[in-house]
Structure 1
């Protein structure tokens, strides 16, 4: 298997890869075209264009990049929330518009923007309107692939750091136990049919990484991290330790998308440069 071929031989998907490359190139043209036609939006939106984000690293399959991380905070009662960037006003070509953007997130040197999440149709989601009213807490989805969440949470319940107390031992029979405890949530979209799916994981690996990386220190807390759980290939919802068959792709301890076998490492946060799609005008 060549170094550039992310598919293992047993997947039998090499012929498909060529088609994906063509489709990916076409999708890139579409995104670029949208940006060139509409490089900024009205006060309700934010311009698209090239954005640099921190993402969970894509390590296999056809996905073109990682999935964007969501910085988190834990409140005084232990409940976990995603941090929304500061709302500012910018001017381009004589037009003022609102954008949610923090230039230097908690002194990490990283510019954090809503544009990180503007892909897979989410750019038209009300949740990405800068001034959308939300308390930003992660809440439980209607159903979950994790038995612990099915037993402990009802739809709409918030997550508390205490829900993850057994994170150094947790396991569900897929891959190694003790790597981290996950949950499936939604963010800023409690009343929307177009959900913002989120994965939450608490892990010692994140605690260790936070000691040496200013961004991870600023964007995580007590080993808890989160990311937008939308595959960057065809916008499916992948899973961390949700499918036993992921072992066939060396992904039993990683995030695996069963649609086309994209794989992500949730404990490797890297920088990625890509084109964020513009929010539509009102």
Structure 2
């Protein structure tokens, strides 16, 4: 669907945008040894290697790069789910390997986007995992989610007040966040943490309006395919020490000018969900088939 049809250009809400500080120096991690990492890295590991992705920009703190976006889709009943790449089996270096990879919004979207911080070992990252991709509530961070049971499916109706929602952290009107898990509904599996956000800024980013005119065409094209009805999501694992940050979640964030950003309270890394960037990193191999 064309961008102008999906997200009509709209005027109105203004927001404070913190400058991207140091992201050029910290954003890309690809060591010389990484070039030796291919699709099959060892007898016990598959996938990985140098991977291009789109994520929410790291703007401050020790985190080396962006956190990867999770493309979303809103199902017919209003349930919000993450898009999982198409799976296929290929023979690589004489070995049959199942991979999850597809073209989405002009990018090669693959499970490798999420293969860091140990997530590559989680059951849900297996390309063939039996998972329905629905985002499921993880109460405990936001007061509004306290009425939900852990594991409840998130729906678009849960975010109806997204244009006015506010809490005691920062300013209101930037969107309504939720903590969720993804591909993790089976018992006794490691939870894949995801942050979901519905924001009036999302269509502005896709359209390149105002302060978002600096977003590259590649990023905007991917956002158009990866968001819907103002909803976006990302893997909520800090790229520094794998902590779990939050958008407008922690009171201490204002001391680091991050009250309207995604803040990691463990080591004060800051991410701006409204400045997505295209980056690359060396994805770690997941366990062998």
TM > 0.5 between the two?
yes
Q: How far apart in 2 are the matches of 1:233 and 1:91?
A: 34
The alpha-carbon deviation at position 175 of structure 1 amounts to 0.6
Contact 1:46 1:115 in 2 (8 A): no
Contact 2:246 2:262 in 1 (8 A): yes
2:255 to 248, 252, 267: 248
Contact 1:41 1:280 in 2 (8 A): no
The alpha-carbon deviation at position 186 of structure 1 amounts to 0.2
Q: How far apart in 1 are the matches of 2:74 and 2:43?
A: 33
- Per the alignment, residue 109 of structure 1 pairs with 106
- TM norm structure 2: 0.81
RMSD of equivalent CA atoms? 2.5
Write out per-residue CA displacement over residues 142-192 of structure 1, whole angstroms, 9 at most, x where no aligned residue: x321111112x1111001101101111000011110101000000011224
Count of aligned pairs: 254
Contact 1:62 1:262 in 2 (8 A): yes
Q: How far apart in 2 are the matches of 1:109 and 1:128?
A: 22
Q: How far apart in 2 are the matches of 1:162 and 1:268?
A: 26
Kindly report which structure 2 residues correspond to 1:7-86, keeping only aligned pairs within 5 A, or say none: 32=34, 35=37, 39=41, 46-86=46-86
Write out per-residue CA displacement over residues 239-270 of structure 1, whole angstroms, 9 at most, x where no aligned residue: 11111110110100000001111000012111
- Per the alignment, residue 180 of structure 1 pairs with 175
Q: How far apart in 2 are the matches of 1:243 and 1:77?
A: 32
The ranges of structure 1 where at least 4 consecutive aligned residues each deviate by more than 6 angstroms after the TM superposition are: 3-6
Kindly report which structure 2 residues correspond to 1:1-282, keeping only aligned pairs within 5 A, or say none: 32=34, 35=37, 39=41, 46-102=46-102, 104-105=103-104, 108-141=105-138, 143-151=139-147, 153-190=148-185, 191-212=187-208, 213-282=220-289
The alpha-carbon deviation at position 121 of structure 1 amounts to 0.6
Q: How far apart in 2 are the matches of 1:128 and 1:200?
A: 18
Contact 1:230 1:238 in 2 (8 A): yes
* DSSP-derived class of the 1:127 partner: helix
Report the CA distance shift for 1:59/1:192 in structure 2 as closer, same or farther (over 3 A): farther
Contact 1:40 1:92 in 2 (8 A): no
Q: How far apart in 1 are the matches of 2:42 and 2:226?
A: 28
Contact 2:193 2:237 in 1 (8 A): yes
* DSSP-derived class of the 1:194 partner: coil
Unaligned runs of 5+ in 2: 1-19, 209-219
- TM norm structure 1: 0.83
The alpha-carbon deviation at position 48 of structure 1 amounts to 1.0
Write out per-residue CA displacement over residues 176-218 of structure 1, whole angstroms, 9 at most, x where no aligned residue: 1010100000001122442100000000111212235221110
